[in-house]
Amino acid sequence: MTDPTFRSALQLAAAIRSREIGSRELLDHYLARVERFNPQLNALVTLDAERARARADAADAALARRESWGALHGVPITIKDSFETEGLLTTSGSPTLARHVPKTNAVAVQRLVDAGAVVFAKSNLPTFAMDWQSYNPVFGTSNNPFDPARTPGGSSGGAAAAVAAGLTGLELGSDIGGSIRIPAHFCGIYGHKPSHGLVPQRGHIPGPPGTLGETDIAVIGPLARDADDLAAALDILAGPVAEEATAWRVQLPPPRHTALREFRVAAWLDDPLCPVDEETRACHRHMVEGLRAAGVTVDETARPAFAFAEAHRHYASLLYAATSPGLPREQFAQLARAADAAPTDVHNDSLAFARGATQRHRDWIVTNEMRHRLRGAWAQFFGAHDVLLCPVTPTAAILHDHSEPFPQRVLSVDGAVRPYTDMVMWSGLIGMALLPSTVAPVGRTRAGLPLGVQIVGPYLEDHTSIRFARALAEVTGGFTGPAGY
C-alpha cells in the first residue's frame, strides 16, 4: 500500500481486512518509526514489541481463516501510561509505581483489545496525570513534534505527540482538566472528551490501583488523526461495567445533522476572564468566516445563561475535591488547617485549593447542586444551538516550563502575564457540566504551531460534536502532520 503512516485507524483497519497490508507489516512499520523518531520526542516510554508481534501474526492468521476480531482488527495502537495494561509496566509517571505490572487490562483497554487492536506501547504523561505538560521522574520529558522546545500538552501529551508524529494508529487518553483536549490542540490532532459516565474509568491511575469507583468530572476518550476514528472508538469504549450491564445499555443518539450547513452553531471565542492571544483569535475568525462562506449560520453572541466566573469557581471546587484523595495524608492535614484558619473574606488560588480539597461533604452537595443548575442552563442553550465553538487554551503550545511551585508558573498572552491556571479555564467550563467536547485542528500560527477548537455538544450527544468536527474539515482541512516526520 501507499505509505500508511498518517492514515486513520479506520483506513488502516480496512487495508488490513482487504489484505492491502498485514497487521504484522504495519506494526513493524510503526516500530521502525518509533526507533527513528521517538528518541527526539520521548512520546512512547514502554514498548511491548514481541507480544505485539505475536498478536499481529495471530490477527493475520485469523483473517486468513476469514475470522474478524472487530472494528480495529490488527490495528497497532498505543495507550497512555495511566491505564493498567496486562503484563506491561504501568507507572502513571510515578516512582512509587516504577515496577507496577498489572495482571489485567483497564476496562477501556480491554474493550479496544476485544475490538481487535494490537497494543504495542505506552505513552508518557506527567506524574499521576496532574499537569498540562508531560514530564515525570520515571521517564523524563515529552516534546512536541512541531517544536521540541515546546510541550505536547498534558496529561495525554505523549499520546498526542505519538499520534501527530505517525508513531501509532490510535491512542487512549483521559481528561479531568483538559488532558485530552489540550494535547490534541497543541499537537494538531483530533481528541474527544466524552460525556461523563459513558466510558468506565476502572483500571485508570489515579485513583490507586484497584479503585472501583468513578471520579467526578474525569473521563476516558480517544485521540486520533481523523474525526471518524473518534466516533468508532467511542462506540467501542462506551457502556457500563459488567455488573451494571445486566440492567442497562448505552445507545447514543445519532448526530443531530450530517451536512455542515445544517448545524446551528454558536461561537464563544474569547472572554475577558480568560483572554486568548491574537493568533488564536485570527485563526478562529478565519474559521468562522469559512463556515459562513459554506452557508453555516454562526451566532457569536449566544451564551449559556450563567457567568463564566461563576462556572469556573464551581468547577475548581469540584475538581479539587475530586483529586484530593491522591494527596498524601500530611499534606491533606496541612491544607485542612490552612482552610480552617483563613478568614472567610480572604480569597486566593492557594486558599481556593485548600478549601476545595478539604471541603465537608455538605459543602460539596451545595456546589454539586449549583453544577446541576448550570447544566440546566446548558440544556436550554442546546435547545437553540447544536454545537458551541470555544477555545481550548489561550495560546498554541507553550515552551517547556517545569519550575516549581506549580501555581507560580505564568503564561504570556500577547505580552501580558497570565496565571498558568488559565490553561484549564476553557476546558473546565465544559468538564464541570459533564458535556462532550471534541477538539479539531483548525489552523497554524505564523511559526507553524497547530491551533485547535473545542466543539461542545449536548450531554450524551457525543456524535453531534464529533460529526461537526468531521464536517468542519471541509473548511479547515483537518489534520496535517508535522514537517520531517
Catalytic (active-site) positions: 80, 155, 179
Q: What does each C-alpha distance from 31 to 34, 49, 52 come to in angstroms?
A: 5, 8, 10
Spatial separation of the C-alpha atoms in residues 297 and 154, rounded to whole Å: 34
3-class SS of residue 456: strand
Nearest C-alpha neighbor of 199 from the set 160, 235, 228, 232: 235
- Looking at beta carbons, which pairs linking 274-277 to residues 24 or more positions away fall under 8 Å? 274/308, 274/394, 274/418, 274/422, 274/425, 274/426, 275/394, 275/413, 275/414, 275/416, 275/418, 276/391, 276/393, 276/394, 276/395, 276/413, 277/394, 277/395, 277/413, 277/414
The CA dihedral of 127, 130, 131, 135, to the nearest 10 degrees, is 10
Query: What does the DSSP assignment read for 245-286?
Result: TTT----PPPPS-SSGGG-EEEE----TTSPPPHHHHHHHHH
Rg (CA), the chain: 21
The set of cell numbers assigned to 432 is 464541570
